[in-house]
Every structure is written in C-alpha cells, then in structure tokens.
Amino acid sequence: MADFNGLEHIVREDESLAPYGWLRTGGVAKYFAEPTTEEELAALVGLCRNQNVPIKLLGGGSNLLIASEQVEAMVIHLSAAAFTDISVEGNQISAKGGAKLVQLLSTAAREGLSGLESLAGIPGTVAGALKTNAGTHNDDIGQWTKSVKVLTRDGEIAVREGAELRFSYRESSLNELVILEGTFELRAMDSIEVTKRTQTQWILTKGQQPRGVAGTICMFRDHGGVTAESLIESAGLKGAATGAASLNEFCPNFLVLNEGGSVENAVALLNHVQAEVAASTGIELVRQVEVW
C-alpha cells in the first residue's frame, strides 16, 4: 500500500464509485480522497507523484462510466467548501472547480450577469464542464471563460488564459491534473431577465433528457452537423437494449440503466450502438462519455 503519511484522515481505500457516477454502478477506487484545503491537495498530489500512484479527478460523475472493477488510481473528489466557492466582481464570476454548474448559473442570474443561461440543465461541476467544454448546439462554457486556474502535473499552480486556453466541440486544452477555478466574463443584464432565460433553457434541456431515471449517460458526440441521435435512429436502433441497459425511447443518445443493470450491460450496449451505426452509415461515432 502507498504511504499517505499525514493525510490518512482524507484518504480511503477501496471506495465504491457507484454513488458518484450517474449510472449508480461501477467499480471501486483503490485510493479515494476528499482534500479540505489546497495545501492538502498539493501534498496529496506530491505523495502520489513520489510513489507513482496515478491520479484521476472526479467531478459530478455525469460524463463517466466506471467500467473497471478496481480503478488503479487515487481518485480525488473536490467536494469540500474550499473547492466549491463562487465569487463575483463586476461582470466577472469566479467559481471553484468543485462548485456545481447549477450554482454558478443561479449566482449569475441573481447578480444580473448574462451568458451562461444556455448551460441550464446540464449536470455536473464547473471543472467537469470546463474539461468537456459542456454546452448545447449553439453555445458552450468556453465562450464565456476568461481564465482558468489549474494545478499542473508538476505540482505548480498556473493560470491559463488567452492563447493558452482553447475550446472546441466538447473539448478543451485543459489537459491539466486539477482544474481549480474558472473565471467567466459575462454581460450585465436585468436579473429578472437572466432568471427567465435560465428557467426557459432549463425546461427546454430537461425536456430533451430522459425523465425519472437515476441511471443515465449521454453516449456519443454529434458528428459534424449531424446529431448522434439521428444517426442512431437511422441505424434502426430506437429501443435497442442489452440486458437491463436500453436506449431511452425519446432521446436515443441516452443510455438508461434499469433496475438490476450492470456496467457490463451498459458497455455492451455502447459498443453495439457504435458498431451498428458504423455498419449502417459508415460513421464511427465518438464517445462523449469517458470510460474508466
């Protein structure tokens, strides 16, 4: 076992990751930690580096499928208050990586700052959204991001901005060890108007997502101008299922894991859909969900 001398109070072994992922199933983390300060985080990263323990960051788990029985890594979860704070200065909001995206949006609405409304209804954290450049067909978080504070793989704190910060469809240049904080430059607008826009978008987005199911993931990225959903439909896969994993009836790009379903069911269905779409359309769908 690796030595986490001095940090035993925040490190746990063999932590089940099922409660942290949106499919509510999956393997265990060999090591799991919830640091309470940036100093603890830096010390933890240093100990992992010295002992060659790989590190993985867990946000809201809404873009993860935990397929391994044991994730051979230190899984770090930034849930403590030190990593969830949100502050406002003029037309800029700074949100720590572990803050929920919904909290960032409600702060923006309350403060009368417009821009991020189109993200309403997307689950997860600020860091997860920055890493995956979360968004809709028209907008994404990257467009509003001024700078991002990170902890690099060398254990240095750095701020990425300008040319060092790039966003494209569901991707960012933020291949850093830890995303600590994002700063967003927004436009001043009447608070009631921002709230209305956020609520309208929330209703629209939620209407496009599976309702009333706990275990769901969004499977694939759109391909060029064609939605993954329409490619899945044109491959005749509407209603496809593998064991207890099935495609949502109304949103076929969402995989739903029903009662008693396993990770194996989910992975099998993901692979089946990818193969069938390739066979019928010639297009190799790229996974949106990250498999651990």
Ligand X SMILES: Cc1cc2nc3c(=O)[nH]c(=O)nc-3n(C[C@H](O)[C@H](O)[C@H](O)COP(=O)(O)OP(=O)(O)OC[C@H]3O[C@@H](n4cnc5c(N)ncnc54)[C@H](O)[C@@H]3O)c2cc1C
- Contact residues: ligand X, CB under 6 A: 22, 56-64, 78, 97, 122-125, 127-129, 131-132, 134-136, 170, 178-179, 209, 216-218, 290
132 vs 198, beta carbon nearer ligand X: 132
Separation between Cα atoms, residue 64 and residue 179, nearest integer Å? 17
Please identify the residue of the shown chain whose CB is closest to the bound ligand X: 128
Nearer to ligand X, 26 or 123 (CB): 123
CA gap 281, 235 in Å, rounded: 7
**What contacts 207, CB < 8 A, 6 or more positions away?**
none
> Taking Cα atoms as reference points, which of 255, 265, 261 lies closest to residue 285?
255
Minimum Å gap between C-beta 166 and ligand X is: 16
Cα separation of the two ends of the chain: 21
Residue partners of 88: CB distance under 8 A and separation at least 6: 94, 107, 111, 113
Q: How far is the CB of 63 from ligand X (least distance, A)?
A: 3
Kindly tell me which of 25 and 125 has the beta carbon lying closer to ligand X.
Answer: 125
Query: Smaller CB distance to ligand X: residue 264 or 290?
Result: 290
- Minimum CB–partner distance for residue 291 and ligand X (Å): 11
Least distance in angstroms from the C-beta of 245 to ligand X: 14
Q: Judged by CB, which is closer to ligand X: 59, or 242?
A: 59
* DSSP assignments along 113-169, one per residue: EES-GGGTT--SBHHHHHHHT-B-SS-BGGGGEEEEEEE-TTS-EEEEEGGG--EET
In the complex, least distance from residue 216 CB atom to ligand X, rounded to whole angstroms: 5
Q: How far is the CB of 57 from ligand X (least distance, A)?
A: 4
Minimum CB separation of residue 220 from ligand X in Å reads: 11
Structure tokens at 141: 């978080």
Closest CB to ligand X among residues 227, 280: 227
- Closer of 156 and 290 to ligand X (Cβ): 290
> E strands of the chain, at which residues?
11-16, 28-33, 55-58, 64-65, 70-77, 86-89, 92-96, 113-114, 145-151, 157-161, 167-168, 171-172, 178-185, 187-188, 216-218, 241-242, 245-247, 254-257, 290-291
Give residue 67's region: left, alpha or beta (phi > 0; psi -120 to 50). Answer: alpha
CB of 146 to ligand X, least distance (A): 18
* Identity of the residue, 1 or 118, whose beta carbon is nearer to ligand X in the bound complex: 118
